[in-house]
Amino acid sequence: MRLLLQSSRRFFYRHPGQLILALVGIAAGVAVVTGVALMREVLIDALDSATESLSGAESIRIVDPRGPMDETLFIELAMTRGAPPLLPVLSSRLRHGNRMLELLALDPLSLEQGGPVRLTGSATGPLFGQANAALVSQRTLERLDLEVGATLSVRHFGEQLDLEIVNVVAGGRELDDRIIMDLAAAQHLTGRQGELSFIEAPVDARAWLAERLPEELRLIDADQRRESAASLTAGMRANLTAMSLLSLAVGLFVIYSVLAFLLVQRRRTIGMMRAVGVTEGQVRGLLASETLILAGLGALAGLALGTLMASGLLELVRQPVAELYRMVASAGVQPTPLLYVSVWILAVVMALASVFGVLREAQRIPPGQLARTVHEERSGASPIWRWLPVFLLVAGLGLILVTRSLPPVLVGLFIMLSGCALLAPVLGMHLLRMTAALTRSSLVGRAIKMLLSSRQRLAPAVSALSLALALSAGVGMMVLGFRATVDDWVARLINADTYLTVSQGQLDSSSMETLQDWPEVEMLSGSRQVRMDDGSMVVGYDLNPRAWEGFEWLDGDGLAARDRVESGQAVLVTEPMARRDGLSAGDTLELVTPSGTVEFEVAAVYRDYSTDRGMIAMIGSRFRELWNDDQRDSIGLYLGPGVDHEALEQRVSETFPAGHLTTRESVREQTLGVFDRTFRISWALAILVGMIAAIALISALLALGLERAREYATLRALGLSRAGLAGVVLTQTTSLAAIAVLLAVPFSLLIHATLSLAVQPRAFGWSLALSFPLQPLAVLIPLALLIGALAGAYPAWKIAHRDPAPLLRAS
């Protein structure tokens, strides 16, 4: 065995390029998996690691599911005999440029003295009595590129606040992008007097608290909070995981193609080994050991690369997570040994499994096959093998069509992709044969015929290439198609001319009345949202006839049911809500409101992409009655013809000193801005998969060019010029790239359709109108051809300048 291993070592010495490509291929796949896995953990931990670090890891939290709680509750509890240490916290989201920050305002004097209090005395001192004093961790200070004493400008509900960083607080990644302030100062500054977001208490105080808490308040522990964060981000994380596994699959194709090719190159050596008594098992063992070492080393490098990459990937998802789920995640990842070991084992096992076919082939090499004859391609594979790709495609598609939950759809997608992978070489060879038939005796025809003679060796390369290209393009098309759908939806829904919001004070019914009397205003609409316990929203709408037209009905017709909605008997639900709760028009739903549980009829289901947690819309008057809340988050102004916007703005600022007008166009831009930020991670992963595809392409093409050295030598000896020979090599590599990319086109459409029509609805609850944006293909096709030509250039040059004699002598 030792001898055998030495022989493979010598082989890799002579072909370092192969070795490097195999390592890079597997490393790139593992890197993406590692990066995404690390990022997933951060998303689950995001919700409350910061307060945990301040109040102790084992803490429970008192929350009011209806929203902020009254601070007098804290006083009542804290003054009760035997009260546990309680920490009152007011949390709020702040925006600094494009970055979301979390304001954690607390009473430092209430921090448990015996516990892991991580606010230093000198740090908290300056907090007291200064309205804008704030603390940040050293990491956050560096991330914001600030120094102690500097001013940090943030926006809080549209209003600018200038905070002074008075000191640094000790803390790790859980305090990333957290701003710590004193409760009094924060209430003063944000105008949230009397409010607390939650109260933290030690976990052993559960019984004491449960006995004394008012009924409407809840106690939730760290596990429940993690679960809630996990379910909030479930769709997003499932998407990321699927993408990362696809990347790994492509990486495995690379290692498979390299190993398969290595076997081909070493048939002679192996034949000799078998002749001198090396058993089948030993040959198999040799190849398995090679795979183990290559995959093991590659995976190790992948873990390191993935760790380096994770922070970058995380930065791409942090902002959408903050915008969509109101969670400020840590900016750093925290790898665990378990995660590293699991990913490493997964990669190595999958690599071994992927080369199973190669092992079987190696086993079949007869002893004494010394002659490097052109390997006889096996033909006439059994019908089972021939029909397997079709079977996989059908099975995958069937699974996708019949299931309603996400994991089986992802499994179905994988099965379908495996079918594509197997189908690719078959179709590819057909295409080549057709091209060869068309070009007949020309040099191109000859070059392609040479390719066809080694179709089995090319199969893995064609699979890997076409699949990777298809994935990149498919994901790109899905994102672009989705964007177009969202754009249409926004354009339809946002149909007021301009929207009024206020940064301070209130908009309420009297504001509506005031505006209604303005001559430039034709109609008004208003909305008020509240967040429910499960993250879903309830919105109260004041709708005018044009606003009603903004809805796109997916089930039932809300316009027809308008009377029942306006009378407050019926509600409208968004598609994600309907899908999650299995609701359709005509059903009834129960809603827990501050005025008790109320039953509503579902009048219709409408298209909505604003939250994947679902939304229930009801008429404003009913909402105000049930929630006892007369405020509006925004008022839509429908203007008459020829209204002078500047004059209107002037009038608004006089009537509503803290008011802002936002035009329809900028609402659309903001919505698409959020969308683009949300899908930056998908683009990043698509590009990573594309890069792995490029590695696979280069690896396959280089191998192809180098492997056929002897045949090229023959051509050269027969009188083919150097330029002619180079042309043959270039033709071969470019046409291989061309078939890969051609095959990638239908595959990418399939992937795009599956992601848009099956994965998105199941992950987020919304359906997408299928469109076929072809830009990703328009980029990838020329790129693949270019890489094909470039990857052929080196072997072409090398072969053309090689003396054919020694190579011919070998036979």
Partner 1 sequence: MRLDILIILVLVLLTGSWLAWQTRQPEMPVERLSVLSLMAGGDGDFRRVTEPVPLSFPEAHAKHPEYQNEWWYFTGNLDTEDGERLGFQYTLFRFGTRPAERLDSAWAADTTWMAHLALSDGRQQQFFQSERFARGALGLAGADETRWWLRDWEVIRDDQTWHLEADAGDFALELAMTPKRPIVLQGDQGYSRKGPEPGNASRYYSVTRLDTRGQIRIGEQTLAVTGLSWLDREWGSNQLSEEQAGWDWFALHLDDGRDLMLARLRNLDGSTSEWSYGQLVQPDGSARYLENEEFSMEVLRWWTDRNGARWPLDWRIEVPLAGLSLVTRATFDDQHWQGSVDYWEGMIEVIDFDSDQPAGRGYLELSGYGEG
Which positions touch partner 1 (CB under 8 A)?
9, 13, 53, 71, 75, 78-83, 85, 107-111, 113-114, 116-122, 124-126, 128-131, 170-173, 182-188, 193-194, 297, 300-301, 303-304, 307, 334-337, 340
Q: How far is the CB of 564 from partner 1 (least distance, A)?
A: 45
Parallel, antiparallel, or unpaired for β 615-619 and 537-542? parallel
- Name the residue nearer to partner 1 (CB basis): 254 or 339: 339
- Name the residue nearer to partner 1 (CB basis): 169 or 763: 169
- Name the residue nearer to partner 1 (CB basis): 242 or 300: 300
Q: What is the DSSP letter of 508?
A: B
* Separation of alpha carbons 622 and 624, rounded Å: 5
- Name the residue nearer to partner 1 (CB basis): 170 or 717: 170
Q: How far is the CB of 247 from partner 1 (least distance, A)?
A: 20
- Name the residue nearer to partner 1 (CB basis): 313 or 570: 313
Q: What is the DSSP letter of 179?
A: E
- How would you write 68-85 as a 3-class SS string? CEECHHHHHHHHCCCCCC
- Name the residue nearer to partner 1 (CB basis): 16 or 596: 16
Alpha helices in 708-774 (DSSP H): 709-717, 722-754, 760-764
Closest CA to 220 of 228, 208, 230, 231: 228
Q: How far is the CB of 85 from partner 1 (least distance, A)?
A: 8
Structure tokens at 519: 């001559």
Counting Cα atoms < 13 Å in the Cβ hemisphere of 453 gives 15
- Name the residue nearer to partner 1 (CB basis): 294 or 729: 294
Q: How far is the CB of 153 from partner 1 (least distance, A)?
A: 19
Q: How far is the CB of 717 from partner 1 (least distance, A)?
A: 36
Q: How far is the CB of 709 from partner 1 (least distance, A)?
A: 25
* Separation of alpha carbons 227 and 43, rounded Å: 11
- Name the residue nearer to partner 1 (CB basis): 192 or 716: 192
Residue matched to tokens 């596994």: 245
Q: Is the dihedral of CA 52, 55, 57, 63 positive or negative?
A: negative
* Separation of alpha carbons 24 and 22, rounded Å: 6
Counting Cα atoms < 13 Å in the Cβ hemisphere of 466 gives 32
Q: How far is the CB of 340 from partner 1 (least distance, A)?
A: 6
* Separation of alpha carbons 174 and 87, rounded Å: 18
CB within 8 Å of 302: residues ≥ 6 apart: 26, 27, 28, 29, 30, 31, 33, 34, 251, 343, 347
Q: How far is the CB of 69 from partner 1 (least distance, A)?
A: 14
End-to-end Cα spacing for the chain: 28
Closest CA to 87 of 183, 217, 218: 183
* Separation of alpha carbons 63 and 41, rounded Å: 24
Q: How far is the CB of 47 from partner 1 (least distance, A)?
A: 19
- Contacts of 110-116 with CB under 8 Å at 24 or more apart are 110/78, 110/85, 110/86, 111/54, 111/55, 111/85, 111/87, 112/55, 112/56, 112/85, 112/87, 112/202, 113/85, 115/55, 115/56, 115/85, 115/202, 116/53, 116/56, 116/57
Residue 353 main-chain phi, psi, to 5 deg = -65, -40
- 528 strand-pairing partners: 540
- Name the residue nearer to partner 1 (CB basis): 171 or 636: 171
Parallel, antiparallel, or unpaired for β 69-70 and 59-63? unpaired
In contact, 520 and 498? CB cutoff 8 Å: no
Q: How far is the CB of 195 from partner 1 (least distance, A)?
A: 10
* Separation of alpha carbons 7 and 9, rounded Å: 5
In contact, 201 and 88? CB cutoff 8 Å: no
Q: How far is the CB of 109 from partner 1 (least distance, A)?
A: 4
Closest CA to 95 of 385, 328, 414: 328
Q: How far is the CB of 116 from partner 1 (least distance, A)?
A: 5
| Angstrom distances, CA of residue 179 to CA of 87, 115, 117, 371, 478 | 17, 21, 17, 73, 37
In contact, 530 and 631? CB cutoff 8 Å: no
* Separation of alpha carbons 29 and 485, rounded Å: 31
Q: How far is the CB of 38 from partner 1 (least distance, A)?
A: 9
Q: Rounded to 5 degrees, what angle do the CA atoms 732, 735, 740 make?
A: 125
Cα dihedral 33, 38, 39, 40 in deg (nearest 10): 90
Q: How far is the CB of 270 from partner 1 (least distance, A)?
A: 23
Q: How far is the CB of 443 from partner 1 (least distance, A)?
A: 41
Q: How far is the CB of 783 from partner 1 (least distance, A)?
A: 32
Q: How far is the CB of 84 from partner 1 (least distance, A)?
A: 8
Task: Please tell me whether residue 192 adopts helix, strand or coil conformation.
Answer: coil
Q: How far is the CB of 129 from partner 1 (least distance, A)?
A: 3
- Name the residue nearer to partner 1 (CB basis): 340 or 656: 340
Structure tokens at 555: 């089930």
